[in-house]
Amino acid sequence: MSAPTQAHAELERMDSKKDEVYTTSADAEGVHKLGEGYIDHTTAFAGLSRIQAMRKFWRACTFCMITAFGVIMDGYQTSLPGSVLANSGFIKQFGTVVNPTTGNVSVNAQYISMWSGLAYLCQFLGNWAGGFISDRFGRRYTLYALTVVFTGGIITEIVARNYKDWLAAKMLMGLGQGLIQQGVLTYISEVAPTQLRGALMSTYGWAYALGQLFVAIALNTLNMTDPENYLKAIYSEFVFLGLWIIALPFLPETPWYYARKEDEVSAKKTLHKIYKGVEGYDIDREYNAMLVEIQEEKQKSHSNSEVALKDIFMGPHLRRTFASVFALVMQNWSGSPIIFNYTTYFLQQAGLPEPFQASVIVYCILIFSLMVSFYGIERLGRRTLILSGGLACTVFNVAIASLGFAKKSSSVDSATLAFICLWVFMYAFGFAGTGWTCAAEIATPRLRAKTTAFAASTNAISGAIFNSTVPLMISATSRNWGVKTLYMFAILGGVGTVINFFLLPETKGRTFAELDEMYDLKISPRKMKAHVTTLEESGLKQHK
């Protein structure tokens, strides 16, 4: 008897047991329906509330939070090179453009454009390399790979003395960011309990923003104490890297990876490590449920071969792939390349008197808003947050850009900073973390690594385009558009919001099997929230 057939038989045998442990009343009510032929091919804990899931699966949540710490490192190490551009010591080392009127030296905008463009190109390569490593060798090996790359990037930043050296450092950091985007999202999506998956995956945006806040604080402190020694900020990157290296060995491989490789011993060993001590947790039952779902995925794909890239564009997966792409690409289309990737530099070019202090304010608001969205993503839903965030950011982009025509004054500076803060709040609340959550959730588990890699790499391509052109747009030594550049992002953000209205499903509280079912039935993404699935009809899960 084959493994999938054995899994079905085992589930049926377990469902007939009178002494089986059910964790909720919904599970108990569903026993007779299981006897009538319904097979629970998800989990015996589908009926748990979020609070119950957090208490029962605290170890799984802990592993997800440890993984999210790597994103803090990512946020710090990839944001520092962009924010340090406004540091006087950095400008003195890498500046080549001399203002004929004042004699002040500045960094060539073309260099900044090249640094950012090639960094995002390497991020694109890192996304795909992460998908390959993740599928071939394991999710954890991607995390090891990004650690090596980030270490090389820091060392290169320290020894860099000209724009070519700094370019090499930026490219390594971009490659590492691509690896961490793919690796962390895939890892958390396969370890997190269904009820907490959205909240735990949204920690990506929160952790990245926390890293950016630390950068703003570090550079503001450096500007007040020793503004000429930019290398002090570079050395501080080793703090986060060291903590990440200490935590990394404690992370287990995901059970889904082993199950897909038909490595039953390793899969059950990992399940035991993640769910150790959970009352009523039957490893055999949960592993067999995973096998059933994997087998169903293979049957739907009409192939038992390795996942190919073309699979993410076949049948219903095409809609799911583009939904993942546009949920994530809104981060760039909304204006983040101008406000976040060059925060201090942008505020400096906008004419604000204290750009380093203003950047600290911006990132404090970012952190607060992300904490609010951490609650909202499970309460309001992914679709609601992304659509509301897209609409609000579009309006604020128009407001900020319009202030660029006003005569320079303290009141105009205050209004500009106020609208930037409002933009940051709605950006973080709407899709800073939600976009990454959707990018990994919408795809079917079999294609998750490839779909996430494609969505992240598409986002990286748009980032490469914007981050190579934005410095030229806002620089006083180039186009000198300043805040008026945000008119372009207002148009893009509006278009992206309309596209998401038609493409984006609501994944809140949905298991992967439920999403597969709704896409197979060709339910409109706009109507998926109200659709009652087979699992809900069985009584094992309450429709919300």
Reported as a single tens digit per residue, the pLDDT across 289-307 is: 888 877 776 666 554 445 6
Q: Which one has a higher pLDDT value, 425 or 120? A: 425
Distance, CA of 475 to CA of 389 (rounded, Å): 28
Instruction: In the chain, list all ranges with CATH 1.20.1250.20.
Output: 49-251, 311-543
Read out DSSP for 469-498? HHHHHH-TTTT--GGGGHHHHHHHHHHHHH
Residue 216 tokens read as 């703003």
Q: Which one has a higher pLDDT value, 5 or 69? A: 69
Q: Who's near 241: CB < 8 A, 6+ residues apart?
A: 73, 77, 147, 150, 151, 154
Distance, CA of 490 to CA of 89 (rounded, Å): 34
Distances (CA, A) of 45 to 194, 196, 262, 263: 9, 12, 23, 24
Residue 496 tokens read as 């992206």
| Total-model pTM | 0.68
Q: Closest Cα to residue 139, out of 62, 191, 66, 192? A: 191
Residue 412 tokens read as 């105009």
Q: Closest Cα to residue 202, out of 26, 447, 389? A: 389
Read out DSSP for 131-182? HHHHHHT-HHHHHHHHHHHHHHHHHHHHH--SHHHHHHHHHHHHHHHHHHHH
pLDDT computed for residue 43 by the predictor: 58
pLDDT computed for residue 372 by the predictor: 85
331-363 in b/e form (b: 16+ CB < 10 A) is bbbbbbbbbbbbbbbbbbbbebeebbbbbbbbb
pLDDT of 40 > 60? The answer is no
Residue with the two structure tokens 């795809």: 443
pLDDT of 27 > 50? The answer is no
pLDDT computed for residue 11 by the predictor: 38
Q: Who's near 255: CB < 8 A, 6+ residues apart?
A: 190, 267, 268, 270, 271, 274, 287, 290
Q: Does domain 311-543 have CATH number 3.40.50.720?
A: no
The dihedrals phi and psi of 97, each to the nearest 5 degrees, come to -95, 125
3-state secondary structure at position 98: strand
Tell me the residue type at 254.
T
Q: Is the CB of residue 409 less than 8 Å from the CB of residue 347?
A: no
pLDDT computed for residue 59 by the predictor: 87
Residue 112 tokens read as 């900044």
pLDDT computed for residue 47 by the predictor: 66
Q: Where are the alpha helices (DSSP H) in 84-108?
A: 88-94
Indicate the pLDDT class of residue 102, thresholds 50, 70 and 90. Answer: confident
Superfamily of domain 49-251: MFS general substrate transporter like domains (1.20.1250.20)
For the chain, count helices (H), then strands (E): 27, 2
pLDDT computed for residue 307 by the predictor: 62
pLDDT computed for residue 49 by the predictor: 67
- Range from 224-238, 295-309, 471-485 that averages highest in pLDDT: 224-238
CB atoms near residue 522 (< 10 Å): 8
pLDDT computed for residue 344 by the predictor: 64
- Range from 56-60, 89-93, 387-391 that averages highest in pLDDT: 387-391
Q: Who's near 328: CB < 8 A, 6+ residues apart?
A: 435, 436, 438, 439, 455, 456, 458, 459
- Residues 500-514 pLDDT 10s: 999 999 988 888 888
pLDDT computed for residue 1 by the predictor: 45
Angle at 302 between CA 297 and CA 307, to 5 degrees: 65
Indicate the pLDDT class of residue 146, thresholds 50, 70 and 90. Answer: very high
Tell me the residue type at 106.
S
The dihedral formed by the CA atoms of 349, 354, 360 and 361, expressed in degrees to the nearest 10? -100
CB atoms near residue 303 (< 10 Å): 12
